[in-house]
Amino acid sequence: MNFLEDANILEYFFERDEAAIVETRQKYGGRLYKTALNILHSKEDAEECVSDALFKTWRAIPPAKPEHLGAYVAKITRNAALHKYEHSHAAKRGGGEVSVLLSELEASVGNPPEGARNLRPEEKFEAKQVTIAINNWLATTDKVVKAVFVLRYFHGESIADIQNRYKISESKVKSILFRARKKLNLHLQKEGVLV
């Protein structure tokens, strides 16, 4: 299937043409759905998050003009899914794949403040600095390491899914992630943004 270029889809957004939503869903919907499903483990909730993300994208563009539309909508979807997960699991903390993912990263990037949605300005600034440092670190890593790291910690892919995608052993995936977290931790310390 031939998809429109992001620049053409963005033109639809700026023209307030609803084809923008249709084209975005066609091009990125599968990846968005999988990301939400990996976090929520509910087909209905995942589809709702994708729809919410597309609506939020519609409201944000314009004035926003993302350089990478797929990443932009993926981040909105992921945040919507994490918010939905957080809300539905507020009473029963612990357990689940999302908790595992967060605990894996906690040693490298620190524990986010309670009520991360209501951050004080200085906490927002610190969170932004950590994000910039992580992105800078990812830009310098090996292509496979970067892909495995992003699939695991951004898209919420399971170790088994990553193993199957790259045709490597489970221990190799775990080793890549372990080393990546250690290197990320050192990078964050070097940048002075480790919390």
Length of the chain: 195
Rounded distance between C-alpha atoms, residue 107 and residue 36, angstroms: 24
- What is the average per-residue pLDDT within 36-64? 91
Same domain, 8 and 65: yes
**Average pLDDT for residues 27-54, to the nearest whole number?**
91
Query: Based on the domain organization, do 114 and 150 belong to the same domain?
Result: yes
- Name the pLDDT band for 23 (thresholds 50, 70, 90): very high
pLDDT beyond 90 at 51: yes
State which of 76, 91, 106 marks the end of a domain.
Answer: 91
Highest mean pLDDT among 16-20, 150-154, 190-194: 16-20
What is the DSSP secondary-structure string of 130-192? HHHHHHHHHHHS-HHHHHHHHHHHTS---HHHHHHHHT--HHHHHHHHHHHHHHHHHHHHHHT
Is residue 54 domain-shared with residue 104, that is, in the same domain? no
What CATH number is given to the structural domain containing 32?
1.10.1740.10
How confident is the model at residue 139, as a pLDDT?
87
Q: What confidence score (pLDDT) does residue 90 get? A: 54
Q: Are residues 1 and 30 in the same domain?
A: yes
Residue 17: pLDDT band with limits 50, 70, 90: very high
6 band by pLDDT with thresholds 50, 70 and 90: very high
- How do residues 126-154 score in pLDDT, each as one tens digit? 667 777 788 888 889 999 999 998 888 88
**Residues 89, 58: Cα–Cα separation, whole Å:** 28
Least confident of 4-13, 89-98, 164-173: 89-98
How many Å apart are CA 37 and CA 49, to the nearest integer?
Answer: 9
Residue 38 clears pLDDT 50, i.e. is over it: yes
pLDDT digits (tens, 9 = 90+) for 77-133: 988 888 887 777 654 544 455 555 555 565 555 544 444 455 566 666 666 777 778
Residues 163, 98 share a domain: yes
What pLDDT is attached to residue 61?
A: 93
**Domain end: 75, 91, 107, which one?**
91
pTM above 0.75, yes or no: no
Residue-range definition of the domain harbouring residue 24: 1-91
Task: Mark which of 91, 120, 147 sits at the end of a domain.
Answer: 91
User: To the nearest whole number, what is the mean pLDDT of the chain?
Assistant: 81
Task: Give yes or no for a contact between 3 and 26, defined as CB atoms under 8 angstroms apart.
Answer: yes
CATH code at position 103: 1.10.10.10
